[in-house]
Amino acid sequence: MKLVFATNNQHKLDEVQKITAGHTEIVSLAAIDCLDDIPETADTLEGNALQKARYVKDKFGYDCFADDTGLEVEALNNAPGVYSARYAGPGHDSEANMKKLLREMEGMENRKARFRTVIALILDGKEYLFEGIVNGQITKDKRGRSGFGYDPIFMPDNHTETFAEMGNDIKNTISHRAEAVKKLSAFLSTLSE
């Protein structure tokens, strides 16, 4: 099966292609000549994931899926959540987002957080949602160089390294995205039985 992944984030594409290697062909937006900056203006992860997938389906006609991910910090009432990409303001990068989060959390003892991914799939005219969650802690400093986004400051439960320290091979077995993609894959494999 061939599916378009409606993302402009190359890291997400790499992760999902690795996780699904062998059973589903995941095609980038570049492969369908879509260079658009796809809008995401909803106020939930579910809403944004659906908005991105519908955009590609409506404009290009392909079956596709999209991923919207947020980092939810307990002591900040689940912020930045759906606003994780623009936490430090529009046009700011991950460095600025992490810096802001570490500053907001200065002196806080409760560092519990979770990554939540929602994948929206549009297939044969129907819409489906798949969720993945990983619980962990926000570290006091950035640690590690691999991964992307908030990976250097997120340490998953039962691990002593951040996502950026452990590297993608381990991240891809335990992450929020891995869990959501496994659910997507399981669903797709039921269709081919």
Nearer to ligand ITT, 134 or 188 (CB): 134
Residue-wise DSSP of the chain = -EEEE--S-HHHHHHHHHHTTTT-EEE-TGGGT---------SSHHHHHHHHHHHHHHHH---EEEEEEEEEEGGGTTEEETTGGGTT-TT--HHHHHHHHHHHTTT-S--EEEEEEEEEEEETTEEEEEEEEEEEEE-SS---SSS-TTGGGEEETT-SS-HHHH-HHHHHHHSHHHHHHHHHHHHHHHHT-
Shortest distance in whole angstroms from residue 31 CB to ligand ITT: 15
Q: Is 169 annotated in some ligand binding site?
A: no
Q: Is 159 annotated in some ligand binding site?
A: no
Shortest distance in whole angstroms from residue 95 CB to ligand ITT: 11
Catalytic residues: 68
Q: Is 171 annotated in some ligand binding site?
A: yes
List contacts with ligand ITT (CB under 6 A).
Answer: 7-9, 12, 40, 67-69, 84-85, 94, 97, 147-151, 163, 175, 177
Q: Is 150 annotated in some ligand binding site?
A: yes
Shortest distance in whole angstroms from residue 108 CB to ligand ITT: 20
Residues marked as binding for Mg(2+)?
68
Residues marked as binding for substrate?
7-12, 69, 148-151, 171, 176-177
